[in-house]
Structure 1
Amino acid sequence: MLTSPTFIALAFANLSCLSGFSAYFLFPLFVAEHGGDQVDIGIVMGAFALASVLCRPWISNMIDRIGRKRSYTIGSLIMTLLPLGYLLFSGDLRTFYAPLVALRIIHGVGFAICITAAFTLVADLVPPERLNEGLGLFGVSGLVGSAVGPLIAELIIRRYGFDALFHATAGMGLLSLAAHLPVHETYVHVLKVTQTPFFKVLKKGRVLTVALVSFLFGFGLAAVNGFVSPYATEKQIVFISLYYISYSSAAVLTRLFGGRPADRFGEDRIIPYALLVMATGLFALIFLEGEGILFASGFMAGCGHGFLYPSLNAMAIRNQPVNERGKITGMFTGSIDGGAFVGSVMLGFIGALAGFEALFFASGLALMAGLGIFRFAGPNRAPARRDA
């Protein structure tokens, strides 16, 4: 199943989608160019994640109701059309602040649909005994996209400006839309099956633990996605996308070589180390002075991310009924987005009041708090699997 045409087509669609999404890691430069400060960056970037959180129950129910593929189609259409709306904005940020935030919210809904539908579909495809490996390998496509997107964005912005970037990301959305068309639907809705309400899945102990840790993971990601580029610019570092290339490369390596050990030894042994390594990468940014620390920080944070995402996802959905996977995946990804929203806003204020160094220190502390919660909630952890 990990080399089937359906898996490969979906992976390419995911790569295109994430390339378009991660190109907006440099969107803070657009906000700053139009007169915005760190608080504005936090609000504008956080609006994207807020939409994902608010709409997650509806998105998860939709995926379990109309199917994974149809849901992905809707999401990729939004990812294709919404970037063109940014072309309408020019002049001082204050003159288009509310419309920009509104557009970011709708854009976030499209991305949330794509991610939730894609990972739910993959969970349906992958054999249970290879769940961590399958989710991790599929995630490689997104991580490659996360490296390609900022690199392409930086080159386009330098040479052609932001309008060209918005056209390019619309094209990436169109590629994602086209690539997923050969994918076959994996889930047939059965009317007789009792549907579990979205928030009731939290009553399952390990889902709640995953949700809390994922929220703090998302808080840390807010620093990566929204504040590395303006911080590196302030430090007069020219090659900003080096961070994202290093980050994604490290995450890809952990996905390629870490999936089977995670399935073999259990997520409960992997997640604490992943949280610690990612936190260390964020703490390292406090000492940023040149490209060496930028690269090393990205590599450490990327290693942590590479283990965390599939391990948390696998822990949440392992041995769960197929008709609840959309909701549980939605709870998992929604928790990350919730953390990203809160992190974007809070870190924006922290950065404005105390500087970027304090901002990255706070983001690292959030991951350390996640480590404490995971240790405290030990009885709810998934058992190690030794049949892989």
Structure 2
Amino acid sequence: MKLYTPAFAALFLANLTMVSSYSTFFLFPLFITKNGGNNQDIGIIMGVFAMASAFSRPWVAEMIDRIGRKRSYTIGTLMMTALPLVHLLLTGPLSAYYAPLLLIRTVHGIGLAICFTAIFTFIIDLIPVQRLNEGIGIFGTSGLIGLAIGPLIAEPVLDRFGFPAYFLTAAGFGAAALLLHLPVRDRKQAEPCTATPSFFALLKTRKQLVSGAMALLFGVGLAATGNFIAPLAQQRHLEYISLYYLAYSLAAVSVRFVAGKLADRVGENQIIPWGLAIAASALLLVPLITNNVLLLGIGFLFGIGHGLLFPSLNAMAIRNEPYAVRGKVTGIFTGGIDSGSFLGALLLGVIGQQAGFAALFICAGLAMLSGFWVFRLRPGRG
């Protein structure tokens, strides 16, 4: 069974453009502050997106196992196309539309939950089991490239044409993802007709509890970088915020070409501690950023940690799980990341407002370091 097929390529490009749509919103805190918001508002408004994505995950995961990967992804990309356009209706001070904005962010977060859960379940069905880490790792580079492309394109669009063009850019990326995945068919696997456990029954197993908790801590780190790097760089008068995301994505993409094959050979459990240590170190170094060189360097370091962690954690969660529950398992894993992103955005926003950016990033780094204790609880350790 081949790994790099036309279907793999189509889903790769679809995920790249969908993530580009999502990552344009790394600059959304600039919209919030421009219209009168503060760090706490950033935490709430960005956090509600992650909250909706996380809390919707049980029924999203059930839906994907029930109606199929492709149909679910179509629904998700339609939402990722439409929701940025709704932002065009928001004008004036933030206080004039705070509640409607929270509702928009909630629906947008559900769209992202559907997309992420559906496409990672979709691609795992296509990956040979003996190349699981490699397949997840290389496919995951599509998202990492998208993380860089979104801000890289959106920042000059925003600077030159303003927020309306910025929102149109996000919608255009979503529409591209919608079109790119349409030729790919679901690859349903024949299995005996047996009752399958529910989302919450799976979540109670030790393996999925550990996987979900590790994903949650990873999400806290992502919340710090995704929501607070842009305002920190702006406060410190750094001109090219997208440099961080470019370096971050380049590092995470580059390391996947080596780490995936290595993890398939030595096991993902050997890779995860290294990813934790590197990502946490990058967060703890963020307070030292005073120029664009340091911004780029720390982005590169966090990207290495991300590149090691995401595919290995995903492989740990999904390995040996049957087709009928892969949507739910992927939902637990991606939902854990979103739960961490939500809690991270909310709590780190409060910390940043009360104690400043240095305390915010130190807390995020320590949260990721606590993953070493959680990892020791995995089943079959040793």
Shorter chain as denominator, the TM-score bin is over 0.9
Q: Is the counterpart of residue 148 in structure 1 residue 149 in structure 2?
A: yes
- For 1:386, the equivalent position in structure 2 comes to none
- For 1:170, the equivalent position in structure 2 comes to 171
d(CA) in 2 for partners of 1:244, 1:189: 41
Contact 2:189 2:323 in 1 (8 A): no
- For 2:78, the equivalent position in structure 1 comes to 77
Q: Is the counterpart of residue 119 in structure 1 residue 112 in structure 2?
A: no
Q: Is the counterpart of residue 193 in structure 1 residue 194 in structure 2?
A: yes
Contact 1:219 1:343 in 2 (8 A): yes
Contact 1:20 1:172 in 2 (8 A): yes
1:280 Cα deviation from its structure 2 partner: 0.7
Counterpart AA for 2:143: G
Contact 2:88 2:167 in 1 (8 A): yes
Q: For residues 61-88 of structure 1, what are the alpha-carbon distances to aligned partners after superposition, in whole Å with 9 as ceiling and x for unaligned?
A: 0100000000000000000111110001
Counterpart AA for 1:218: G
Q: Is the counterpart of residue 14 in structure 1 residue 15 in structure 2?
A: yes
Q: How does 1:229-308 map to 2 (within 5 A)?
A: 229-308=230-309
- For 2:26, the equivalent position in structure 1 comes to 25
Counterpart AA for 2:118: A
1:370 Cα deviation from its structure 2 partner: 1.0
Q: Is the counterpart of residue 218 in structure 1 residue 219 in structure 2?
A: yes
The count of corresponding residues between Structure 1 and Structure 2 is 381
1:202 Cα deviation from its structure 2 partner: 2.1
Counterpart AA for 1:233: Q
- For 2:136, the equivalent position in structure 1 comes to 135
Counterpart AA for 2:172: G
d(CA) in 2 for partners of 1:206, 1:303: 25
- For 1:40, the equivalent position in structure 2 comes to 41
CA gap 1:64/1:281 in 2 versus in 1, 3 angstroms:
same
**What SS is found at the alignment partner of 2:290?**
coil
Q: For residues 252-301 of structure 1, what are the alpha-carbon distances to aligned partners after superposition, in whole Å with 9 as ceiling and x for unaligned?
A: 01112210101111111110110010011111111110112111111111
Contact 2:207 2:378 in 1 (8 A): no
- For 1:96, the equivalent position in structure 2 comes to 97
Contact 1:209 1:380 in 2 (8 A): no
Q: For residues 6-40 of structure 1, what are the alpha-carbon distances to aligned partners after superposition, in whole Å with 9 as ceiling and x for unaligned?
A: 00000000011001000100000000000000000
1:208 Cα deviation from its structure 2 partner: 1.1
Q: How does 1:336-375 map to 2 (within 5 A)?
A: 336-375=337-376
Unaligned runs of 5+ in 1: 384-388
Counterpart AA for 1:336: I
1:191 Cα deviation from its structure 2 partner: 9.7
Contact 1:67 1:188 in 2 (8 A): no
Q: For residues 107-127 of structure 1, what are the alpha-carbon distances to aligned partners after superposition, in whole Å with 9 as ceiling and x for unaligned?
A: 111111111111101111101
Contact 1:19 1:146 in 2 (8 A): yes
Contact 1:61 1:326 in 2 (8 A): yes
**What SS is found at the alignment partner of 1:125?**
coil
Identity across aligned pairs (percent)? 51
Contact 1:274 1:304 in 2 (8 A): yes
Q: For residues 44-67 of structure 1, what are the alpha-carbon distances to aligned partners after superposition, in whole Å with 9 as ceiling and x for unaligned?
A: 111111111111011000100000
**What SS is found at the alignment partner of 2:320?**
coil
1:372 Cα deviation from its structure 2 partner: 2.1
d(CA) in 1 for partners of 2:14, 2:21: 11
Counterpart AA for 1:68: R
Q: For residues 311-359 of structure 1, what are the alpha-carbon distances to aligned partners after superposition, in whole Å with 9 as ceiling and x for unaligned?
A: 0110011011111110000000000000000000000000000000100
d(CA) in 2 for partners of 1:293, 1:126: 38
CA gap 1:204/1:358 in 2 versus in 1, 3 angstroms:
same
Unaligned runs of 5+ in 2: none
Counterpart AA for 1:279: A
d(CA) in 2 for partners of 1:88, 1:187: 41
CA gap 1:3/1:94 in 2 versus in 1, 3 angstroms:
same
d(CA) in 2 for partners of 1:308, 1:345: 23
1:151 Cα deviation from its structure 2 partner: 0.7
Contact 2:271 2:308 in 1 (8 A): yes
d(CA) in 1 for partners of 2:337, 2:190: 27
1:192 Cα deviation from its structure 2 partner: 3.5
d(CA) in 1 for partners of 2:291, 2:314: 35
d(CA) in 2 for partners of 1:379, 1:177: 39
Q: For residues 150-179 of structure 1, what are the alpha-carbon distances to aligned partners after superposition, in whole Å with 9 as ceiling and x for unaligned?
A: 111111110001110111111111100000
